[in-house]
């Protein structure tokens, strides 16, 4: 197989399902826009009658984000400045790292503070939160319970002690960040480690049949009723499409909800780590199902039947081969995936994962796993945007964007249909801001 053939393989299903794609465009019009009637008032509170008004969407209610693991992680001040200036222009949501192994590398020495000692790809939460607050980016906590990244100093086989320490971890994080995050991922990849890969588990609690129940109970206790609690699982969309309601992850979710676990939102990863484990061309068939239009459509409908909002918590789209052709293919794949996800009415956000090439995760445990080999960043190493980044910006900044002019009636009212988000209305002599949210 050549690189060109590989690119065609990944794009094949999307290109062959034009009718399904068109239905998604119709769904976007149906579910992501709504009617809005506003009254334009001048600075004295009087209606602005029979005047032309320009209505401009400023933000999206839908969140399109990325992890912010590279904040101030570059070798020069100029690179750090560019990253800071770029991130909030392309994303309105940031996933913040709360991996226990790097948040508390030594017992009792927590790295919350923005001036904490640096660890690569693990910027301190306070530093990330400060940036989010300054730029208007919504912060997302990832994650409270994740077996894979547990500190070496933990007494991992001592059930009683580990329960105490996890309780302490949840409580300490809540004391500092309760009410400050847009949402909180409680458990991550439980099916991956606690299920078929159980032999690799690092903590005795991960093999406890009641551990998920314990996690969500504690999260609600410490973070409060107003917190949005998210469950996050691995790449399961093709599995759901093939196995339907009997897919292990669906049984996991349904069982959790039936037991009354306080889960507000269903999260699912969509990493096409093509080449991360070796040769890209050797892995094309393995990952092709992740770009199967009918599989994605079926899986989203099954997930939506669970009765909870959905999100893509982590997503990776590879460049197949190097150069312009690989980058253009990545941009086209991104367009299709975001269209299908945005068209799903239950979907609230999509989080892209690694944003900059050659600065991705490399496993210390498995030397063969190198996410840099995927070339999946939206930006090149010099921080210039690839076509995929420009496509993402075009989708939410131009295509799925509302901007229009209208005439007010005698009482200053204007009615329009637009995408959900925050708006500005400007007119001769003034302007006003208003919101147009689906959830209002």
Per-residue pLDDT tens over the stretch 235-249? 999 999 999 999 999
Scan for tokens 């075009």, then name that residue: 394
pLDDT at 198: 59
Average pLDDT over residues 431-438: 95
Residue 408: closest CA among 382, 427, 433 = 427
User: How many CB atoms within 10 Å of residue 214?
Assistant: 17
Residue 425: what pLDDT?
96
DSSP state of 192: I
**What are 97-133's pLDDT values in tens digits?**
999 999 999 999 999 999 999 999 999 999 999 999 9
Q: Hey, what domains does the chain have and what are their CATH numbers?
A: 64-401 (3.20.20.80)
How many residues in total does the chain contain? 440
- pLDDT at res. 367: 74
State the Cα–Cα distance between residues 147 and 193, nearest whole angstrom.
Answer: 7
Identify the weakest region by mean pLDDT among 18-22, 42-46, 61-65, 81-85: 42-46
Could you give the dihedral angle defined by the CA atoms of residues 284, 286, 290 and 296, in that order, rounded to the nearest 10 degrees? 130
Q: How far is CA 354 from CA 74, 106, 325, 421, in A?
A: 14, 27, 20, 26
Longest pairwise C-alpha distance within the chain? 73
How far apart are the C-alpha atoms of 95 and 314, rounded to whole Å? 9
**Percent helix / strand / coil, the chain, rounded to 5:** 40, 20, 35
**Tokens, residue 277:** 């484990």
Q: What angle do CA 416, 417, 423 make, to 5 degrees?
A: 75
Under 8 Å between Cβ of 118 and 147? no
Report CA torsion sign: 244, 245, 251, 252.
positive
- What is the predicted pLDDT for the residue at 404? 98
Which pLDDT score, from 0 to 100, does residue 393 have? 98
Which pair of tokens denotes residue 303?
A: 């997930």
Question: Mean pLDDT throughout 309-326?
Answer: 96
Q: Taking the CA atoms of the chain, what radius of gyration do you get in angstroms? A: 23
Place of tokens 């996933």: 95
Residue 254 has pLDDT above 60, yes or no: yes
Cβ–Cβ under 8 Å, residues 100 and 187: no
| Residue 181's pLDDT band (cuts 50, 70, 90) | very high
Confidence of residue 287 (pLDDT cuts 50, 70, 90): very high
Residue whose structure tokens are 């979710």: 253
Residue 439 predicted with pLDDT over 80: no
- Cβ pair 308, 345 in contact under 8 A: no
């Amino acid at each position: 197989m050549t690189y060109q053939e590989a690119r065609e393989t990944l794009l094949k299903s999307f290109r062959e399902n034009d009718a399904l794609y068109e239905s998604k465009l119709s769904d976007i019009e149906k579910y992501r826009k709504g009617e809005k009637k506003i009254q334009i008032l001048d600075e004295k509170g009087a209606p602005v009658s029979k005047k032309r008004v320009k209505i401009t969407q400023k933000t999206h209610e839908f969140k399109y984000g990325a992890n912010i693991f590279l904040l101030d992680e570059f070798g020069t001040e100029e690179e750090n400045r560019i990253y800071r200036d770029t991130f909030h222009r392309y994303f309105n949501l940031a996933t913040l790292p709360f991996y226990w192994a790097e948040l508390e590398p030594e017992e009792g020495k927590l790295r919350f503070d923005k001036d904490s000692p640096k660890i690569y790809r693990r910027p301190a939460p306070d530093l990330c939160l400060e940036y989010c607050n300054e730029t208007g980016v919504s912060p997302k906590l990832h994650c409270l319970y994740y077996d894979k990244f547990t500190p070496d100093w933990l007494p991992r086989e001592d059930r009683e002690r580990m329960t105490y320490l996890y309780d302490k971890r949840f409580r300490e994080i809540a004391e500092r960040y309760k009410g400050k995050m847009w949402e909180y991922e409680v458990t991550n990849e439980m099916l991956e480690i606690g299920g078929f890969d159980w032999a690799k588990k690092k903590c005795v609690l991960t093999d406890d049949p009641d551990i998920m129940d314990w996690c969500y109970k504690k999260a609600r206790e410490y973070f409060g009723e107003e917190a949005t609690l998210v469950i996050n699982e691995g790449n399961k969309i093709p599995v759901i499409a093939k196995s339907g309601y009997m897919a292990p992850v669906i049984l996991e979710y349904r069982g959790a909800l039936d037991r009354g676990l306080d889960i507000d939102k269903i999260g699912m990863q969509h990493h096409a780590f093509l080449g991360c484990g070796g040769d890209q061309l050797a892995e094309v068939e393995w990952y092709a199902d992740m770009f199967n239009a009918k599989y994605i459509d079926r899986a989203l409908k099954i997930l939506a039947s669970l009765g909870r909002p959905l999100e893509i918590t982590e997503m990776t789209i590879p460049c197949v081969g190097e150069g312009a052709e690989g980058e253009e293919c990545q941009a086209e794949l991104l367009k299709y995936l975001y269209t299908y996800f945005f068209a799903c009415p239950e979907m609230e956000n999509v989080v892209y994962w690694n944003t900059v090439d050659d600065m991705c995760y490399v496993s210390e445990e498995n030397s063969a796993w190198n996410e840099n080999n995927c070339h999946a960043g939206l930006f090149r190493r010099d921080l210039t945007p690839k076509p995929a980044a420009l496509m993402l910006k075009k989708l939410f900044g131009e295509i799925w964007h509302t901007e229009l002019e209208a005439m007010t009636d005698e009482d200053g009212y204007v009615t329009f249909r637009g995408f959900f988000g925050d708006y500005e209305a400007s007119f001769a002599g003034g302007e006003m801001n208003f919101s147009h949210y689906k959830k209002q």
